[in-house]
Structures are given as C-alpha cells and as structure tokens.
C-alpha cells in the first residue's frame, strides 16, 4: 500500500462517514496453494466519498490517524466483516482476516472484538486478527495480554507484512500466533533478486519451525505461485487469484 499523502483529502471525519453509511468493505481471497481453494478473505476498507469518489486507505488513513479515530474505524471494520461472513452463509470461506492498527493495539480492544462476535453470531475461530509489523515491540507487548485472552476464545492471530518492519523476533515465541504473512515486496522480487528469494525462504522456514501457517501477499503471476509452492508456502493472496472484491463479486467467485 502506498504511503504517499494524497493531494486531495476528505473534508470531514471518519465518524461522519460512518454516520452517513459511506464506508465500504472489499474482500481479497486467500487461497490454499495446493489446490486453489478459497479458505479465507481479508477485509479491506474503502470510503465512498460523495465528492471524491471511492477512496482507498492511502487517501484517508493518515487523516484518521491524525484525528485519533483509527480505533473507531477498526471497530466498524470488525463488526461489518463479521456480519458479512455470517450473511454469506454456507458459501462463505472458513475465516475472515481483519487488520488491527497500532492505535487499536495500544488500547484494551478485547471488548470491541468480543462485541463484534456476539452481535453478529460469528464463531470466534472464524475470525483472524492481523497485526501490523509496523507496530513497535512495546505496543505489541502491551497488546499481548489482550490477544492471549482472545486466542483462548479461539480467535486466530497473525503477524502481517512480515519482514517489512523491525519487530523483535522474540515476540514470535511470546504469543500463540496462528501464522505470519510475508510482505509483498519480497514476493515481487523473489524471481529476480536472490536476496528476496532468500528472505521468503527464511521466513517460510521460520514459520514452519514455529508451527505457524505462512501466507504470501501480493502474488501476481503463476511463476511466483510456483516458486512459493516449492518453498512450502501453504497460502497466498494477490491479483493472480483476485483483486479486492465487493461482497456480490465475492459471492459470484465462491459460487464458481
């Protein structure tokens, strides 16, 4: 995701966007590499702005962070994603992945997650929380006791964008993580840059050694998928399979 600041920004807050029902979710499938089955989806937020059109997160997340409203946005995404998975019924994949921002991880977020599960009726094991590797170690350590509580209830937890940040590797042994996701920049370069290939292999071997699921992000070609499969990467997502889809588009894909 680009971090460049946009030249045009929304002129009111995300709280108002929620009140006006302008936020939207898109879902990117996560597939099992051995057979292409869709086993999960990642929820990705968009803003249907009345004058600026459909905004991707790089157009508004900096403003949400500035206004201290990232926890509010995370709560909205949590509830909507859980509800959408329930509404998909028997056609739904087993899991939905939802990102938690560092700002949310710095709070007691257990109530937000528990409330979303209880109000929608989604079973806890079907929700997976993705933690940004951009969160510093102190934030992740603070979040540990809250994450452990949710893990005990059955919620899955994964480290997102693995390799892109500076998370202390000791944290991997402190928490009962479900898996890691390899950052897309290494997947993009693994076929041409031996260093990127080595990092993907290193992270995959690390995950296997810790008995974690490993997912590759940003898979765009069959050649990348083949290389990842040979390294033992079990799950993947990216444009090679599907872009971020609306709920009706996802329903059509799952039916096919």
DSSP 141-210: HHHHHHHHHHHHHT-EEEEEEETSS---TTHHHHS---EEEE-HHHHHHTTT-HHHHHHHHHHHHHHHHT
Distances (CA, A) of 49 to 54, 84, 99, 200, 234: 6, 21, 22, 38, 37
Residue 232 confidence (pLDDT): 97
Whether 4 shows a pLDDT value over 60: the answer reads no
In this structure, the strands spanning 38-49 and 95-100 are parallel
Which domains are delineated in the chain? Answer: 18-255 (3.20.20.450)
pTM for this structure?
0.92
Whether 1 shows a pLDDT value over 80: the answer reads no
Residue 139 confidence (pLDDT): 84
Whether 172 shows a pLDDT value over 90: the answer reads no
| pLDDT tens figures, 90-147 | 999 999 999 999 999 999 999 999 999 999 999 999 999 999 766 777 888 889 899 9
Residue 256 confidence (pLDDT): 83
Q: How confident is the model at residue 2 (pLDDT cuts 50, 70, 90)?
A: very low
**Rounded to an integer, what distance in angstroms lies between the CA atom of residue 135 and that of residue 65?**
14
Q: Lowest mean pLDDT of 13-27, 31-45, 156-170, 191-205, name the range.
A: 156-170
């Amino acid at each position: 995701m680009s971090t460049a600041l946009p030249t045009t920004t929304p002129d009111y807050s995300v709280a108002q966007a929620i009140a006006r029902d302008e936020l939207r979710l898109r879902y990117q499938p996560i597939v099992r590499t051995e057979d292409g089955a869709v086993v999960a989806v990642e929820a990705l937020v968009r803003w249907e702005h009345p004058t600026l059109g459909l905004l991707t997160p790089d157009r508004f997340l900096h403003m949400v962070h500035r206004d201290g409203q990232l926890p509010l946005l995370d709560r909205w995404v949590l509830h909507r994603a859980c509800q959408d998975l329930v509404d998909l019924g028997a056609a739904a994949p087993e899991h939905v992945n939802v990102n938690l921002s560092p700002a949310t991880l710095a709070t007691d977020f257990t109530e937000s997650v528990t409330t979303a599960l209880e109000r929608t009726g989604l079973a806890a094991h079907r929700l997976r929380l993705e933690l940004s590797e951009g969160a510093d170690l102190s934030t992740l350590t603070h979040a540990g006791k809250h994450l452990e509580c949710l893990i005990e209830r059955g919620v899955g937890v994964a480290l997102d964008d693995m390799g892109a940040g500076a998370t202390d590797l000791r944290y991997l042994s402190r928490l009962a993580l479900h898996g890691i996701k390899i950052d897309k920049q290494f997947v993009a370069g693994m076929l041409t840059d031996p260093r990127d290939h080595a990092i993907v292999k290193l992270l995959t071997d690390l995950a296997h050694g810790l008995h974690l699921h490993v997912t590759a992000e940003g898979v765009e070609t069959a050649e990348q998928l083949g290389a990842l499969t040979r390294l033992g990467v079990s799950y993947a997502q990216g444009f090679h399979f599907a872009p971020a889809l609306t709920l009706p588009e996802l329903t059509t894909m799952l039916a096919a």
